[in-house]
Amino acid sequence: MKGLILAGGTGTRLWPITKGVSKQLLPIHDKPLIYYPLSTLLLAGIREIVLVTTAKDQESFRSLFGDGEHLGITISYVVQNQPNGIGESFILAEKLIKDCPVSLILGDNIFHGSGVGRNLQQFGDINGAHVFTYQVANPQDFGVVEINTDGKPVSIVEKPKEPKSNFAITGLYFYDKNVAEIAKSTQRSARGELEISTINQKYLEDDLLAVSMLPRGTAWFDGGTVDSLHDAGEYVRVVEKRQGLKIGCVEEIAWRNGWINDSDLIHLANMLKPTEYGNYLERLVTSK
């Protein structure tokens, strides 16, 4: 399975903060926002990542991650010149995805808790599509899925004025190898975008869409507003301080996955010293 992180867009809801920097490079407590969606894909066992960025921001992401070799993974880069919709990313990355299933995650989404993590590895050989929902108090601000008594999806509506449920579709999706072809045959919306909801609707019509509800207690943050970024940062700070364990630490995940060894992790730790983050990486090896 390949991983696709959508880190483009203009971040207009965060202006003037994002006029000079990508939203996904803003700090969430002690690490850039992009670390968190990347960590979700790594926990799912995905080692081949495609990062979709704007042209002007791509060099910043390359400076941060390079080709991913230091994490035992491969990171490729694709430019999305205009905000033409989430679904366009499948077309832009088609040659890199090839004939593989793919997991798409939005670059401003943070997941933490029992509902996500290594259990995502079960979707590595998916047939159809799988999305995750989260109960929200303001469903009109999201894509909303209606679910019947058997737990099957009935309808999907993007930002409905009168929502039929409180279940928002989160920014984490799993698709089979056919998703790029489906995206290419999908009609764009009135605003000229290739909507992810329309792609999901196609899988729903073919009875190939499955839905999981993230369990109560799972944290999901959509970092599109100043308040949500603040809430996410405070959540990470509190949990890390209480547990002494980091959330979204891509170096630790790569190490625990066996993709890098002790010496590799110590090298990464030394590069980040004298920060607390670097000290944390070093302690992982010395205290095991």
The pLDDT value given to residue 185: 92
- 9 has pLDDT over 90: no
How is residue 267 written in tokens?
């090298």
Convert the pLDDT of each residue in 24-56 to its tens digit.
Answer: 999 999 999 999 999 999 999 999 999 999 999
Considering only 11-15, 96-100, 108-112, 277-281, which range has the smallest mean pLDDT? 11-15
Q: Are 34 and 248 in contact (CB under 8 A)?
A: no
Q: Are 24 and 33 in contact (CB under 8 A)?
A: yes
Domains of the chain with CATH codes: 2-129+171-257 (3.90.550.10), 261-288 (no CATH)
pLDDT band (50, 70, 90) for residue 12: confident
The per-residue pLDDT of the chain, averaged, comes to 93
The pLDDT value given to residue 192: 77
- Measured CA to CA, the distance from residue 250 to residue 64 in angstroms comes to 12
The pLDDT value given to residue 11: 76
Quick one: which of 175, 232, 222 has its CA closest to 200? 175
| DSSP secondary structure of 13-73 | GGTTGGGSS-GGGSEETTEETTHHHHHHHHHTT--EEEEEE-TTTHHHHHHHHTTSGGGTS
216 by DSSP, 3-state: which? coil
The pLDDT value given to residue 41: 97
How is residue 9 written in tokens?
């867009």
pLDDT band (50, 70, 90) for residue 19: confident
Convert the pLDDT of each residue in 172-210 to its tens digit.
Answer: 999 999 999 999 998 888 777 888 989 999 999 999 999
The pLDDT value given to residue 151: 81
- 80 has pLDDT over 90: yes
**DSSP conformational letter for 110:** E
**DSSP conformational letter for 214:** P
Q: What helix, strand, coil percent values describe the chain, rounded to 5?
A: 40, 25, 40
Considering only 134-143, 151-160, 174-183, 187-196, which range has the smallest mean pLDDT? 187-196
The pLDDT value given to residue 165: 92
Convert the pLDDT of each residue in 215-242 to its tens digit.
Answer: 888 999 988 889 999 999 999 999 999 9
The pLDDT value given to residue 230: 95
H/E segment holding residue 227: helix 226-243
Convert the pLDDT of each residue in 240-273 to its tens digit.
Answer: 999 999 999 999 999 999 999 999 999 999 999 8
- 17 has pLDDT over 90: no
- Measured CA to CA, the distance from residue 129 to residue 211 in angstroms comes to 9
| Residue 29, CA distances (Å) to 111, 229, 230, 283 in order | 15, 10, 9, 20
The pLDDT value given to residue 268: 98
The pLDDT value given to residue 75: 98
- Measured CA to CA, the distance from residue 35 to residue 110 in angstroms comes to 9
How is residue 19 written in tokens?
């006029």
Q: Are 220 and 135 in contact (CB under 8 A)?
A: no
